[in-house]
């Protein structure tokens, strides 16, 4: 019995996090039940991402990119397999601990911005700080500073419908950043933007990466994926390739 436990521990450690890892998945499966049908969105994903990596997850529509992003972001739990976020085995955390680690570690950016339509840019960016109980004065000061850092200092009192697409996405990025997360997860962040505005948003991600953030970017556009330093391609719920981007190889 003692020997079995020892062997098991060795196996778990082999697949688990090593120093410098921030995201580690081992044989991650996600199966959705649709009536009497099962959809295997992920079929055994093994992914290891280190602190301050900049990774693009590519793949055709329906390949499982958003499902993987939601698992990495602790917005959903796997049907099978293990996930360690910054050294924590996520399956062992209770709901409160999960919410805390998610708020602390992760900033989300979505294709459709997901801003509150009736709230000003400032209020949208303050929201995560309201949820975690930051005092009002500090909240406003931090939200303002974060909006200034994405060059929206002059647009703070505007509502989303008074802003351009690129400005809305910058508000969403400020909201993702206001808690100083270590990881930015972005799911098709340029999907609703023209290519020039998309490039501006990608320049902002470059900047965040150079400041030490880990960035995981989901995209189906090869040009956008090239901004990252590593490109992981996913097909039918499994990793089909994993290699440095051209940009990285040329550096």
Ligand X SMILES: Nc1ncnc2c1ncn2[C@@H]1O[C@H](COP(=O)(O)OP(=O)(O)O)[C@@H](O)[C@H]1O
Binding site residues, ligand X, CB under 6 A: 32, 34, 39, 41, 59, 61-67
Which of ligand X, Mg ion, none does residue 139 bind (CB under 5 to 8 Å by kind)?
none
User: Does residue 67 interact with Mg ion by CB under 5 A?
Assistant: no
Nearest distance, CB of residue 30 and ligand X, angstroms: 8
Which of ligand X, Mg ion, none does residue 17 bind (CB under 5 to 8 Å by kind)?
none
Which of Mg ion, ligand X, none does residue 39 bind (CB under 5 to 8 Å by kind)?
ligand X
Which of Mg ion, ligand X, none does residue 117 bind (CB under 5 to 8 Å by kind)?
none
Buried b (16+ CB within 10 A) or exposed e, 201-237: bbebbeebbeeebbbbbbbeeeebbbbbbbbbbbeeb
Q: Quick one: 59 or 78, whose CB is closer to ligand X?
A: 59
Q: Quick one: 65 or 230, whose CB is closer to Mg ion?
A: 65
Nearest distance, CB of residue 193 and Mg ion, angstroms: 16
User: Does residue 66 interact with Mg ion by CB under 5 A?
Assistant: yes
In whole angstroms, give the CA distance from residue 245 to residue 100.
Answer: 33
Nearest distance, CB of residue 65 and Mg ion, angstroms: 5
Which of ligand X, Mg ion, none does residue 34 bind (CB under 5 to 8 Å by kind)?
ligand X
Starting at the earlier edge strand, list the strands of the sheet with 214-218: 106-110, 183-187, 214-218, 54-58, 230-235, 238-244
In whole angstroms, give the CA distance from residue 172 to residue 158.
Answer: 13
In whole angstroms, give the CA distance from residue 27 to residue 20.
Answer: 20
Q: How many CB atoms lie within 10 A of CB 11?
A: 11
Q: Quick one: 163 or 218, whose CB is closer to Mg ion?
A: 218
In whole angstroms, give the CA distance from residue 86 to residue 16.
Answer: 11
Nearest distance, CB of residue 59 and ligand X, angstroms: 6
Q: Which two tokens stand for residue 247?
A: 């940009």
Nearest distance, CB of residue 72 and ligand X, angstroms: 12
Nearest distance, CB of residue 63 and ligand X, angstroms: 4
Q: Quick one: 29 or 248, whose CB is closer to Mg ion?
A: 29
* Binding window for Mg ion (CB under 5 A); candidates: 51-59, 66-74, 189-197, 233-241: 66-74
Angle at CA of residue 132, ends 144 and 148, nearest 5°: 15
Report yes or no: 226 and 233 within 8 Å, Cβ to Cβ.
Answer: no
Q: Quick one: 126 or 187, whose CB is closer to ligand X?
A: 187
Q: Quick one: 66 or 134, whose CB is closer to Mg ion?
A: 66
Report yes or no: 182 and 105 within 8 Å, Cβ to Cβ.
Answer: yes
In whole angstroms, give the CA distance from residue 101 to residue 202.
Answer: 26
Q: Could you list the residues that contact Mg ion (CB under 5 A)?
A: 65-66
């Amino acid at each position: 019995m003692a020997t079995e436990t020892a062997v098991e521990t060795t196996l778990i450690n082999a697949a688990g996090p090593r120093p410098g890892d921030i995201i580690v998945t081992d044989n991650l499966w996600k199966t959705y039940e649709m009536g009497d049908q099962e959809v295997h969105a992920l079929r055994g994903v093994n992914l290891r991402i280190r602190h301050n990596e900049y990774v693009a997850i590519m793949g055709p529509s329906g390949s499982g990119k958003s499902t993987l992003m939601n698992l990495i972001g602790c917005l959903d739990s796997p049907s099978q397999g293990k996930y360690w976020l910054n050294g924590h085995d996520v399956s062992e955390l209770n709901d409160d601990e999960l919410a805390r680690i998610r708020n602390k570690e992760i900033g989300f950016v979505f294709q459709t911005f997901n801003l509150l339509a009736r709230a000003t840019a400032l209020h949208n960016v303050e929201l995560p700080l309201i949820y975690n109980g930051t005092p009002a004065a500090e909240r406003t000061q931090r939200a303002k500073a974060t909006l200034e850092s994405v060059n929206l200092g002059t647009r703070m009192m505007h509502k989303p419908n008074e802003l351009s697409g690129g400005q809305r996405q910058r508000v969403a990025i400020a909201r993702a950043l206001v808690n100083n997360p270590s990881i930015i997860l972005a799911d098709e962040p340029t999907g609703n933007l023209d290519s020039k505005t998309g490039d501006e948003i990608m320049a902002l991600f470059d900047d965040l990466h150079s400041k030490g953030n880990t960035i995981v970017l989901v995209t189906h556009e090869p040009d956008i994926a090239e901004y990252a330093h590593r490109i992981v391609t996913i097909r039918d719920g499994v990793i089909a390739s994993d290699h440095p981007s051209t940009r990285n190889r040329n550096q």
